[in-house]
Amino acid sequence: MISYDHYRVFCCAARHRSFSRAAQELLTSQPAVSRSVAALEEQLQCRLFQRTGRGIVLTPEGRRLYEATADACQVLEEAERMMASARALEMGAVRVGTTELAMRYVLIEAIGRFQRQYPGVKFRVSSHSTAAALESLREGEADLAVVPAPSEAPSGLQREGLLSFQDIFIAGRPFTARKGEVLSLRDLAGYPLICLTPETTSRQFLEQLYRRHGLTVTADMEVTTADLVLPLVREGLGVGFLPQLLAREAVAAGEVFPLIVREAVPRRQVCLVTDPVRPRSRAAEGFVAFLRREKWRDGAAPARSSLAGGK
């Protein structure tokens, strides 16, 4: 089998009609180009170039070989340039499975910051429930997932916390009489509850909280996105449960207020989830490394853990 390098040197020399100019393009010496061409001629048992007073010209055999190999060499050289660009994160694509909440807390900012450094990398982001985002990762449809920490997940995936956040209960003007009062979760059961639908991680977290205190969640209004909780609470239609960050501006404006709840509401995490077995593109590896080293608004990432057992 003849080395591809011999064909590459031959095509470069034929294109320039000069061993010296070929050596300059290939970042080598003229004797090295001459040796490579001589080796190819020996293996093919024919002369490929003829020297003239003006340099070199192709022999009839050389012209036939150049016509047969020039396009192939160009394709291979383009492939080499493409791979070099990918290594330098000048190109490539990253597929991310996520949720509305993780998009707001991490991904919008993260993708913006990453693309300012590597504008050639493209993103394909799919927003799902946490379970669907993890399934897309497990099936190889996503390179990584950024989701709230799941209560249950397929085994074999790896989870790393990116930041923690706090959920709160909020109410509007019709409930002003309870502002500043310390309430229990049982007290809240007497008010209309506005929360997300049962398949969401936020709702599952709320149900776990209630079960821990011997209660059951009875939702009067169930919505599919956290965006819809706040306007319903603002209209005085009930008590809402959502991440503190999403209510911050409305609380500062006096449109709603946080309820003081006696029982502690644990903080939650937005997590980076990866499949340690499935290979990722160079662009996806670069984005995973970026997520791991960056600091997010609510603090540094805790230690890595396994999702086995749903923890």
- Give percent of the chain above pLDDT 90: 36
- pLDDT tens-digit map of 217-232: 999 999 988 889 999 9
- Among the ranges given (16-30, 185-199, 245-259, 262-276), the one the predictor scored with the smallest mean pLDDT: 16-30
When pLDDT is averaged across residues 43-62 and rounded to a whole number, the result is: 86
**CA–CA separation, 205 vs 242, rounded Å?**
11
CA-to-CA dists, residue 28 to 3, 8, 22, 41, 183, angstroms: 17, 13, 8, 20, 79
What predicted TM-score, i.e. pTM, was given to this entire model?
0.63
SS3 268: strand
Mean pLDDT over 174-180 rounds to 91
Helices (H), the chain: 4-16, 19-26, 30-44, 60-87, 100-102, 108-117, 130-138, 185-188, 201-212, 229-234, 244-252, 282-293
pLDDT at 75 over 80: no
pLDDT over threshold 60, residue 157:
yes
Residue 121 near residue 93 (C-beta atoms within 8 A): yes
Please, are residues 92 and 118 in contact by the beta-carbon 8 Å criterion? no
Q: What is the pLDDT of residue 150?
A: 66
Tell me the average pLDDT of the chain. Answer: 84
Q: Which pLDDT score, from 0 to 100, does residue 296 have?
A: 66
Question: Using an 8 Å Cβ cutoff, are 269 and 162 in contact?
Answer: yes
Whole-number Å distance between alpha carbons of 294 and 305: 18
Residue 243 near residue 250, CB atoms below 8 Å: no
Residue with tokens 């010209």: 57
> For residues 81 and 274, which has the higher predicted lDDT (pLDDT)?
274
Residues in the chain, overall count: 311
Going by C-alpha positions, the residue among 123, 173, 140, 145 that lies closest to residue 271 is 145
Q: Name the residue among 126, 129, 104, 273 with its Cα closest to residue 200.
A: 129
What pLDDT score does 152 carry? Answer: 57
Query: Of residues 259 and 298, which shows the higher confidence score?
Result: 259
Residue 194 has pLDDT above 90, yes or no: yes
Average pLDDT of span 34-50 = 89
Query: DSSP assignment, residue 218?
Result: -
Most confident range (mean pLDDT) of 26-30, 65-69, 97-101 is 97-101
Q: Average pLDDT, stretch 287-307? A: 60
Long-range residue pairs from 185-188, CB within 8 A, at least 24 positions apart, any chain: 185/209, 185/210, 185/213, 185/215, 185/261, 185/262, 185/263, 186/213, 186/215, 188/239, 188/259, 188/261
- Tell me the backbone φ, ψ of residue 239, rounded to 5 degrees: -95, 130
Question: Token pair for residue 283?
Answer: 């662009």
Q: Is the pLDDT of residue 273 over 80?
A: yes
The full DSSP string for 117-140 is H-TT-EEEEEE--HHHHHHHHHTT
pLDDT on residue 91: 58
The pLDDT of residue 303: 33
Which DSSP helix (H) or strand (E) runs through 56?
strand 55-58
Task: List the domains of the chain with CATH numbers.
Answer: 4-83 (1.10.10.10), 93-152+275-310 (3.40.190.10), 167-261 (3.40.190.10)
Asked if residue 193 has pLDDT above 90, the reply is yes
Cα 219 to Cα 12, 121, 128, 202, 236: the distances in Å are: 73, 43, 22, 13, 15
The dihedrals phi and psi of 260, each to the nearest 5 degrees, come to: -90, 120
Q: Across residues 60-66, what is the average pLDDT?
A: 86
> Is pLDDT of 79 > 80?
no
**Among 209-213, 235-239, 278-282, the least confident range:** 278-282
**Nearest-angstrom CA–CA distance, 127 and 147:** 10
Q: List pLDDT tens digits, range 259-270.
A: 999 999 999 989
pLDDT above 70: percentage of residues in the chain: 87
Which CA distances in Å does 156 have to 126, 153, 303, 308? Answer: 22, 9, 17, 6
Candidates 26, 27, 292; CA nearest to 158 is 292
Give the three-class secondary structure for 147.
strand
pLDDT band at 5 (very low <50, low <70, confident <90, very high): confident
Residue 25 has a pLDDT of: 83
